[in-house]
Amino acid sequence: MNDSSTSETGTDASAHANTSSPAGARVAQSISVLIASRNRPAEVQKCIESVLRQSTQPLEIVVLDDGSDVPLKDGISLDPAAVSIKWLRNEAPTGVSGARNTLVENADGEILVFIDDDAWLIGDDALDKVYRIFESDAEVGIVAFKIHLHSPESGELQVPFTKRSLAKDPSISTRPQKASYFVGAGHAIKKSVFERCGPYPVEFVYGHEELDLSYRAINHGFTTLYEPEIAVVHAPATSQVAGAGKRRFESYYVTRNRIWLAHRNLPWRYAVPYSANWSLYYLAKSLRHGGIISWVAAIKDGLFGLDRSKRQPLSKSAVGYLSRHHGRLWR
């Protein structure tokens, strides 16, 4: 899954003891918690501590240092305890997709709980609920968490519903239900999803890799379940992708990747208007924020790079699933 030309995983995979977990906490041998980070030791520590407060503990926590300037482990201070942390390190950054693929490759659990390094779990029963969902429903391949932006009190959510759906029914975010995609800051995926559908698209680097995997999972018959009682807070830190050159900040990747996403996954009747709608949306944003050069580069690279994106368009049944569950087909 990993791109060996850009990633050299110095697997400092020594099991490392960490902070204390609740007394009497049971260990779910099937769960691995996965965290990728670059240059954010304080955020990672807070994230790990939220995992270690859980009443159900994971088999392991796997942390990937994706090319930090100073080894991430050196900036984290945790008290000795029972749950082990498996530390991995890439000497050069691979981006979000590559980092997540490396985590999957090195995880021993069958249930993979991903938490962004600048996010943390709310409450102490999140992992117990994840475990129970997968145990009770074999069709569920992905669980989408409820994500509070900045704080639970902010009222801002990152959830798998369009703005139109939320405006029409604001209570939609409070009900467990089937969904068409998940937001990357907090989610859980069966390892079998990756085995059947393939890894995150490394060429995306940053942005919309979750949507791409969601489409493929639905196309392979997996259900995505949104569970609002499993929640995280996401306090976005400064992007580690930004600042790497004019063509390599976030707006470039998200614009380019929308074109590849549509080409890879959507039937033509949806792919063309989807790409056009999003390209115009990002054009308007770039005009407001002075990023027109990045937008032009993204459109050019998106169109000329279509041969890198093998088409596996959604089946008729998958399109029906998306239509019924707030999926993104036109926009």
Query: Taking residues 143-150, what's their average pLDDT?
Result: 96
Q: Which residue has the higher pLDDT, 24 or 10?
A: 24
pLDDT band at 77 (very low <50, low <70, confident <90, very high): confident
- Which CATH architecture does the domain made up of 9-234 adopt? Alpha-Beta Complex (3.90)
- Coil, helix or strand at residue 70: coil
Instruction: Answer yes or no: is pLDDT of 49 > 50.
Output: yes
| Own/partner long-range contacts of 237-246 (Cβ < 8 Å, ≥24 apart) | 237/40, 237/43, 237/117, 237/118, 239/206, 240/38, 240/39, 240/40, 240/66, 240/93, 241/95, 241/96, 241/205, 241/206, 246/293, 246/294, 246/297
Share of the chain above pLDDT 70, in %: 87
Residue 250 pLDDT: 76
Give the C-alpha distances (Å, rounded to integers) separating 162 from 152, 165, 177, 237.
Answer: 20, 5, 15, 24
How far apart are the C-alpha atoms of 36 and 24, rounded to whole Å? 28
Instruction: Answer yes or no: is pLDDT of 9 > 70.
Output: no
Q: Which residue has the higher pLDDT, 18 or 303?
A: 303
pTM assigned to the model: 0.88
Query: Taking residues 123-139, what's their average pLDDT?
Result: 96
Residue 1 pLDDT: 40
Instruction: Answer yes or no: is pLDDT of 244 > 60.
Output: no
Residue 307 pLDDT: 76
- For helices 209-219 and 250-265, give the axis angle rounded to 10 degrees: 10
Domain ranges of the chain: 9-234, 246-314
